[in-house]
Amino acid sequence: MCAIFGWFGADTSENLRGMAATMQHRGPDGEGFLHTSEVAIGMTRLAIVDLENGQQPFHSNDQSISVVCNGEIYNFAELKTQLLELGHTFQTNCDCEILPAAYQQWGIDFLNKLNGMFAIAIYDHSQNQLTLARDRFGQKPLYYASHNGNIYFSSEIRGLHKIGIPKAINHSAIPSYLSLRYVPEPETMFQDIKILPVGSFLTIENEVTIKCKKWYQIPVSKTDYPDATTELHDITRLAIHSALISDVPIALHLSAGIDSSVLLAEIKKTDTPIQCITAGFGAKSDEVNEAAALCKKYTLAHTVVELCADDIRSLPDVISQMELPVGDALILAFDRLAEATAEAGCKVAIGGEGIDEAFAGYSFHKFMMLGEKLGSVGRAIAVRGLALTPEYILNKLSAFPANLGKSGRLKIQNYLHSYNYLTDYEKGVNLRTLFSQSEINQLAVVKNKKITLPELTLSKGDLLESHLKHQFESWMQDWAIIRQERNTMAHSVEYRMPFLDHRLIEFAFSLENKQKLNGRAGKHIWRKMAAKYYPETQHKRTKQPFFFPTEEPAYFKEITTLLNSTIGSEKFHQRRMFDMEQLKQLRETAERTREFLPIKQLLSIAILELWMQEHDL
For residue 222, count other CB atoms closer than 10 A to its CB. 10
Predicted local distance difference test score (pLDDT) of residue 380: 93
Cα separation, 302 vs 272, in Å, equals: 15
Cis before 184? omega within 30:
no
Residue-wise pLDDT tens digits, 13-60:
999 999 999 999 999 999 999 999 999 999 999 999 999 998 999 999
Predicted local distance difference test score (pLDDT) of residue 456: 80
Quick one: CA torsion of 16, 22, 26, 28, rounded to 10 degrees?
Answer: 80
Whose CA is closest to 476, among 140, 66, 88, 98?
A: 140
Q: Kindly report the backbone phi and psi dihedral angles of residue 306, in degrees, each rounded to the nearest multiple of 5, phi listed first.
A: -105, 115
Residue 540 pLDDT > 60, yes or no? no
Predicted local distance difference test score (pLDDT) of residue 470: 93
Cα separation, 612 vs 617, in Å, equals: 5
Least confident of 270-274, 283-287, 371-375: 283-287
Cα separation, 132 vs 120, in Å, equals: 6
Cα separation, 406 vs 148, in Å, equals: 53
Q: What is the mean pLDDT of the chain?
A: 93
- 2-214: CATH class: alpha beta
Cα separation, 613 vs 313, in Å, equals: 15
Note whether 2-214 and 228-359+466-533 share their fold: no
Q: Could you tell me the end-to-end alpha-carbon distance of the chain, in angstroms, rounded to an integer?
A: 32
Mean pLDDT of the region 515-541: 86
Cα separation, 439 vs 425, in Å, equals: 18
Cα separation, 68 vs 90, in Å, equals: 16
Predicted local distance difference test score (pLDDT) of residue 451: 83
What is the DSSP code string of 511-574? S-GGGT-BTTBSSHHHHHHHHHH-TTSSTTSPP------TTSHHHHHHHHHHHHHTTTSHHHHH
Confidence of residue 87 (pLDDT cuts 50, 70, 90): very high
Q: Which of helix, strand or coil describes residue 427?
A: helix
Predicted local distance difference test score (pLDDT) of residue 541: 61
What is the DSSP code string of 455-518? P---BTTBHHHHHHHHHHHHTIIIIIIHHHHHHHHHTT-EEE-GGG-HHHHHHHHTS-GGGT-B
Report whether 499 contacts 450 (CB < 8 A): no
Cα separation, 433 vs 579, in Å, equals: 20
Report whether 55 contacts 27 (CB < 8 A): no
Alpha-carbon Rg for the chain, nearest whole angstrom, is 24
Cis before 197? omega within 30:
no
Length of the chain: 617
Residues 6+ away with beta carbon under 8 Å from 516: 358, 359, 360, 464, 468, 508, 522, 523, 524, 525
Mean pLDDT of the region 460-478: 92
Residue 597 pLDDT > 80, yes or no? yes
Least confident of 278-292, 323-337, 566-580: 278-292
Confidence of residue 388 (pLDDT cuts 50, 70, 90): confident
Cα separation, 138 vs 117, in Å, equals: 8
Report whether 73 contacts 114 (CB < 8 A): yes
For residue 364, count other CB atoms closer than 10 A to its CB. 17
Residue at 221: amino acid letter: S
Report which of residues 71 and 206 the model is more confident about.
71
Predicted local distance difference test score (pLDDT) of residue 454: 74
- For residue 43, the Cα-to-chain-centroid distance in whole angstroms is 22
Residue-wise pLDDT tens digits, 408-421:
889 999 999 999 99
Pairing of strands 65-73, 194-195: unpaired
Residues 6+ away with beta carbon under 8 Å from 233: 529, 532, 533
Domain residue extents for the chain: 2-214, 228-359+466-533, 363-431, 550-617
CA distances 194 to 141, 157, 188, 197, Å, are 11, 9, 6, 9
Share above pLDDT 70 across residues of the chain, in percent, rounded to a whole number: 98
Q: Kindly report the backbone phi and psi dihedral angles of residue 487, in degrees, each rounded to the nearest multiple of 5, phi listed first.
A: -75, -40
Predicted local distance difference test score (pLDDT) of residue 521: 85
Predicted local distance difference test score (pLDDT) of residue 399: 67
Residue at 440: amino acid letter: I
Residue 148 pLDDT > 60, yes or no? yes
Cα separation, 530 vs 540, in Å, equals: 9
The CATH number of 228-359+466-533 is which of 3.40.50.300, 3.40.640.10, 3.40.50.620, 3.90.1150.10? 3.40.50.620
Residue 277 pLDDT > 80, yes or no? yes
